[in-house]
Structure 1
Amino acid sequence: MVADGQPTSLRDMFSEVSGGSLSLLTVNRTRPEQVQNLLADAFATGSVELSERSLPSDDDLLVLREDGEITAVSSLDRVMRSFLLVNGDQFTTSTRGFDEDVPAVLTGMDGTLFDLRGYPDSNKEKLLLVVISRHIERRAYEAGEGTLRATFQRLSRLEDESGTRQVYERLAGRPLDVHVYGVPDESPTWLDATVHAGTTHEYRRSWCVVYRPPTRGGVDDPGPGPAALVAHQRAPNRWRGFWTYDRERVERIHRYLVRSF
């Protein structure tokens, strides 16, 4: 850390993440065993333990626990439709995930550091970061105010990925202050946003989506709160990252992007 408490790199922020022990519990599962296997594959890196149980409650629930305490409950069907039975291509070719709520058992995993693999090493692990990115973008869209900053590694992704392009066209159509970052292999001149181009390691390896809501007279806006995802590509198809809704942490991440990108 530097003298003012700001990190010297995005990776420095990982040392601040000390979330508790997370576990997922399928309750009264009637879905086939393959569904349990998909969950196991999605969290194969060990950040989240998976088990199942029969309880006097509704069927086909997925329960998130932190340090043994229940923090979120979602229907297994919703998790299947929004995560387990989709792939990353559906997000890059359409606005999937932008117009629907993400199940609470997924959004509630904030403050946990994940090491995730991309395709073909894993079909599901990296998709978790994609789903949460859409969740934060939707949060900014619903607020309609504030600042959204997103790093894309390559700016051409805004051209090549039709789903991503459509999402950011919609975001830029709101009274939001939208900033996009990436290596300038192609500039999105069509986008009504501030474009930041660079070729440093962090431009090439970072994956950030940061929403900072407005404040009025020092009072937080009552709309959707702040959120940030920070991830770093450690190696081909290998990502380390987390997300947070903590106001102070989001503000530090926001200030870092303003200062260092």
Structure 2
Amino acid sequence: MADSLRAFFEEIEAPDRSLVVLNRSSPDPVRNLLDSLLEGQPVSIRDEEVPDGDADVVALVEDGEVLAHSTLEDLLESILLINSDLYKTGAIDLDEVELPDVLRGLDEVPFRVRGFPESNKEKLLLIVISRVIERIANETGGGTLRASFQRLSRLRDERGTYEVYESVARNGVDVHVYGVGDADPTETLPVTVHTGSSYPYRRSWFVVFTPPDGADARNGPNGGNGDHAALVALEDEPNVWDGFWTFRPDLVDRIDRYIADRV
């Protein structure tokens, strides 16, 4: 078994993938939004013209093979024109959270992101991934969801986050929340609380969902019933996070077991 959450970074595949914007007709500010989302990440972005192809399509490419594609409009609506406050306040319902195929396909790529004010966009990608995993859990209506918050008071102070976890917990998911115990979510939420002051409680950000045995997975940009999904991010520097997400069942199960047994 891994001896720390950091050890799981050694288990990811870290594929060499890139994004190609095909037949771009959108203005430069739109392209710049995509650049800002992935600035400094191991994912290159380039424009390319292809004959007889649709305009403003983004392809995910590995070793010359197209793995997935999404429209720039999908990316704009799901993430590029969104800010994190919309998730905190609950302005975006959980069933409205979307993850375009080209971003889902960046699973197991290691990311290093900065939060506000250093960057307005980088951390947003991990926030969206978190919500996608929570949506998978909510739609499954069973299984186990483990999530860390650094400060448990966030469940009280962020209306959108509170509503998400209230919905997931009341839909039959076994919800476990982790963080410094500056609030008691069990006063209003049917969740199991784990508190502490060690590194995983103060400096980790994980959202891990394991479905119930026998659940059938459903392919698609947002997963579905039976999907395993995990986000793991660690704050080794103030407001700077190393993170990755994965949908690989065996890896998700190992992360879940580590948290259950060691955190």
Q: TM-score range by the shorter chain?
A: over 0.9
Alignment partner, residue 252 of structure 1:
254
Please say if residues 43 and 125 of structure 1, whose CA atoms lie closer than 8 Å, have aligned partners that are also in contact.
yes
- Cα deviation per residue 1:162-193 (whole Å; 9 max; x = unaligned)? 11011111111101111111100111120111
Alignment of 1:22-41 (within 5 A): 22-41=17-36
Deviations 1:209-251, CA, capped at 9 Å, x for gaps: 11101114xxx54533111111101211200010111111001
* Aligned amino acid, residue 212 of structure 1: T
Task: Tell me the residue number matched to 2:221.
Answer: none
SS of corresponding position for 1:82: helix
Residue 40 of structure 1 deviates from its aligned partner by: 1.1
Distance 1:47 1:135 in 2: 22
Report what 1:208 is aligned to. Answer: 206
Aligned residue number for residue 235 of structure 1? 237
Residue of structure 2 aligned with 1:70, choices 60, 66, 71: 66
Match of 1:96, SS? coil
The equivalences for 1:170-249 within 5 A come to 170-188=167-185, 189-216=187-214, 221-222=216-217, 223-249=225-251
Unaligned runs of at least 5 residues, structure 1: 1-5
Q: Distance in 1 between matches of 2:242 and 2:66?
A: 25
Where in structure 2 are the equivalents of 1:163-174 lying within 5 Å?
A: 163-174=160-171
Name 2:220's counterpart in structure 1: none
8 A Cα contact 2:19 2:60, kept in partner: yes
1:142 maps onto 2:144 in alignment:
no
Q: CA RMSD in A?
A: 1.3
In the alignment, which of 106, 117, 122 is matched to residue 120 of structure 1?
117
- Are 2:42 and 1:47 aligned? yes
CA distance in 1, matches of 2:245, 2:41: 17
Work out the CA distance in 2 between the residues paired with 1:96 and 1:8: 37
Q: Across the two proteins, how many residue pairs are aligned to each other?
A: 253
Could you tell me how far apart the structure 2 residues matched to 1:68 and 1:179 are? 41
Matched residue SS, 1:99: helix
Contact 2:210/2:252 (<8 A) preserved: yes
Task: Determine the structure 2 residue equivalent to 1:129.
Answer: 126
Equivalent in 2, 5, 8 of residue 7 of structure 1: 2
Aligned partner letter, 1:178: V
**Contact kept in structure 2, 1:95 and 1:166, CA below 8 Å:** no
Normalising by the residue count of structure 1, what TM-score does the alignment of the two structures yield? 0.93
CA distance in 2, matches of 1:86, 1:40: 15
**1:136 offset after TM fit, Å?**
0.6
- Secondary structure (helix, strand or coil) at the match of 2:183 reads coil
* Partner Cα separation in structure 1 for residue 148 and residue 41 of structure 2: 27
Q: Secondary structure at the match of 1:48?
A: coil
Q: SS at the partner of 2:116?
A: coil
**Aligned position for 2:79:** 83
- Letter of the 1:110 counterpart: D
Give the whole-Å Cα distance in 1 for the aligned partners of 2:84 and 2:45: 23
* Residue 99 of structure 1 pairs with residue 95 of structure 2: yes
Residues 97-151 of structure 1, C-alpha deviation per residue, up to 9 Å, x if partnerless? 6213311111111011111111111111111100100111111111111111111
User: Does the Cα contact within 8 Å between 1:214 and 1:221 map onto a contact in 2?
Assistant: no
Amino acid at match of 2:32: N
CA distance in 1, matches of 2:93, 2:32: 23
Q: TM-score, normalised by structure 2?
A: 0.92
Find the aligned partners of 2:174 and 2:191 in 1 and give their Cα distance: 7
Residue ranges of structure 2 left out of the alignment (5+ in a row):
218-224
Determine the C-alpha separation between the residues in 2 that align with 1:12 and 1:228: 15
How far apart are the structure 2 equivalents of 1:187 and 1:235?
27
